[in-house]
């Protein structure tokens, strides 16, 4: 493990009120002390108590680079558990770079991406799931994702995984002890007891895997495509959801020729919405390209919103769209409900898959939108989107490890049903134990650790 002193700019490289240069390692206090001048020219940083902040100047020889506040965090009372100093300077790009260059010239080296958090992990300050939550917090796109990431940073995933591992390791140890000392430790009746425990473990892991579906949607959002015939109200819907005039709305059919994209948050759900050209048979070359794009985006969408103009009868274009959305998660908006309907809701229901949700809306009068939002929740979430006592899996790596765990536990279950010898249980239990260990970093290779932290931003 590296113990040399590292440094990086921990704030964004843009003009701002404050910039922070973070320094961590054995020589961090000595290095910053060599370029720091206290206001009264009396004390050095070595003499300051831990977790204190001090006013002074950063100087390159006789030249004063900036007026600063310097935070001193002595080991182990820091994020990395090493001696750490943070120089809070003015947030100009030039001055931040000048101070960083001076710190490196004085004996530090430039930190690699994520190296501060990596040291916190390697030094036992946080586990791997908590380390990954750091970047999740930075990249959170909505309040629900942020809330989940903060909870993971505080150890929600770690404590749950540790609890499951402790249950498994107890039985591994019991089986091994019984096999080594059968005279004093009996396995009579044990398979029945283990069967109940394995059933409970499978239930717990299954629930965590179910939460990962919600977790993926919360963190990554729902790729959503709006389709329909020209002038059905697609662009009006986008404008209502966006809360501004993002799309041109006219009475002329075919106004939208190209793709419009918008990120919208509806009650904690992030939608990546694409408004497409109206789908119809046309001889217009440019409009044809737009129609083909609409069909292409629909193929890859998590959700298709099909807007129907209920004031005009259904035609071949509608039937083509209905074929296109078959076997896809879809919501049909029965739009222009403020006008006399030329489409029968009953006939429409018979033409669509039974699972497709139909919502009556009027984008002109802004009605039915709340029902539309409720329909999205019912399609993608079981019960509440997120509750305070829920452990939610939002990381794909964690999900894969849980799948491996579940597979191993089911093998134990099969061995029990088949009446196999106890050492068979032990092998699969150990595999389950190891798979869970991957989540919190107790069963991972150095290469995987390096790969995970290489995705972090600089200074973190």
The angle formed by the CA atoms of residues 193, 197 and 203, to the nearest 5 degrees, is 150
The reported pLDDT for the residue numbered 135 is: 87
Beta strands in 315-355 (DSSP E): 330-335
Helix/strand/coil for 407:
helix
CATH number for the segment(s) 6-124: 3.30.1360.120
Distances (CA, A) of 142 to 104, 229, 275, 376: 37, 32, 22, 16
Percentage helix, strand, coil, to 5, in the chain? Answer: 45, 20, 35
- For residues 4 and 107, is the Cβ–Cβ distance under 8 A? no
- Residue-wise pLDDT for 8-27, tens only, equals 999 988 888 999 999 999 99
Residue 29 confidence (pLDDT): 96
How many whole angstroms from its chain centre is CA 239? 27
How confident is the model over 143-163, as pLDDT tens digits?
A: 777 788 888 888 999 999 999
CATH 1.20.120.430 in the chain is located at 164-216+395-454
Q: What is the reported pTM? A: 0.75
pLDDT of residue 231: 80
Contact between residue 230 and residue 280 where contact means Cβ atoms under 8 Å apart? yes
Tell me the chain's radius of gyration from C-alpha atoms.
30
Give the containing element (helix H, strand E) for 53: strand 52-60
Backbone angles phi, psi at 53, to 5 degrees: -130, 140
Nearest to 146 by CA among 154, 155, 156, 137: 137
Which tokens go with 232? 């059905």
Query: Of the CATH numbers 3.40.50.300, 2.60.40.1890, 3.40.50.360, 3.40.228.10, which one belongs to the domain with range 219-380?
Result: 3.40.50.300
Quick check: helix, strand or coil at residue 140? coil
User: Which residue numbers in the chain have pLDDT < 50?
Assistant: 246-257
User: Where are the domain boundaries for CATH 3.30.1360.120 in the chain?
Assistant: 6-124
pLDDT for res 353 = 84
**CA terminus-to-terminus distance, the chain:** 18
Sign of CA dihedral 124, 130, 135, 138: negative
Where are the CATH 3.40.50.300 domain residues in the chain? 219-380
Give the CATH number of domain 164-216+395-454; options: 1.20.120.430, 1.10.10.60, 1.10.3720.10, 3.30.565.10. 1.20.120.430
């Amino acid at each position: 493990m590296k113990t040399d002193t590292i440094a990086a700019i921990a704030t964004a490289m843009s003009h701002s009120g404050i910039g922070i240069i973070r320094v961590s390692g054995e020589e961090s206090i000595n290095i910053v002390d060599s370029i720091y001048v206290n206001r009264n020219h009396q004390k050095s940083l070595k003499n300051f108590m831990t977790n204190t902040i001090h006013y002074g100047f950063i100087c390159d020889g006789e030249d004063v680079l900036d007026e600063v506040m310097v935070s001193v965090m002595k080991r182990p009372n820091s994020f990395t558990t090493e001696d750490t100093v943070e120089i809070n300077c003015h947030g100009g790009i030039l001055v931040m770079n000048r101070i960083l260059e001076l710190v490196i010239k004085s004996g530090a080296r430039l930190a690699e991406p994520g190296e501060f958090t990596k040291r916190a992990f390697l030094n036992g300050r946080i586990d791997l799931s908590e380390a990954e939550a750091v970047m999740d917090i930075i990249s959170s796109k909505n309040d629900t994702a942020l809330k989940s990431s903060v909870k993971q940073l505080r150890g929600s995933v770690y404590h749950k995984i540790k609890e499951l591992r402790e249950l498994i390791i107890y039985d591994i140890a019991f089986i091994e002890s019984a096999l080594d000392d059968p005279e004093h430790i009996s396995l009579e009746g044990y398979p029945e007891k283990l069967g109940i425990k394995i059933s409970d473990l499978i239930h717990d892991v299954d629930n965590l895997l179910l939460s990962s579906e919600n977790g993926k949607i919360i963190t990554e959002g729902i790729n959503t495509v709006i389709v329909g015939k020209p002038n059905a109200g697609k662009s009006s819907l986008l404008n209502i959801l966006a809360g501004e005039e993002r799309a041109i709305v006219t009475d002329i059919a075919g106004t939208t020729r190209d793709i419009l994209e918008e990120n919208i948050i509806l009650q904690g759900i992030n939608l990546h919405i694409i408004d497409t050209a109206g789908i119809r048979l046309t001889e217009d070359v440019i409009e044809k390209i737009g129609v083909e794009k609409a069909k292409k985006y629909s193929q890859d969408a998590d959700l298709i919103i099909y807007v129907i103009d209920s004031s005009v009868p259904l035609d071949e274009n509608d039937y083509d769209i209905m074929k296109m959305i078959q076997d896809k998660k879809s919501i049909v908006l029965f739009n222009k409900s403020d006008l006399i309907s030329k489409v029968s809701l009953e006939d429409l229901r018979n033409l669509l898959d039974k699972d497709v949700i139909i919502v009556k809306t009027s984008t002109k009068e802004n009605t039915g939108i709340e029902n539309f939002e409720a329909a999205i929740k019912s399609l993608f979430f079981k019960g509440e989107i997120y509750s305070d006592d829920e452990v939610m899996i939002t990381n794909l790596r964690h999900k894969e490890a849980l799948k491996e765990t579940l597979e191993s536990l089911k093998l134990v279950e099969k061995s029990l049903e088949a009446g196999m010898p106890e050492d068979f249980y032990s092998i699969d239990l150990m595999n389950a134990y190891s798979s869970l260990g991957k989540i919190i970093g107790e069963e991972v290779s150095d290469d995987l650790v390096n790969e995970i932290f290489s995705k972090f931003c600089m200074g973190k």
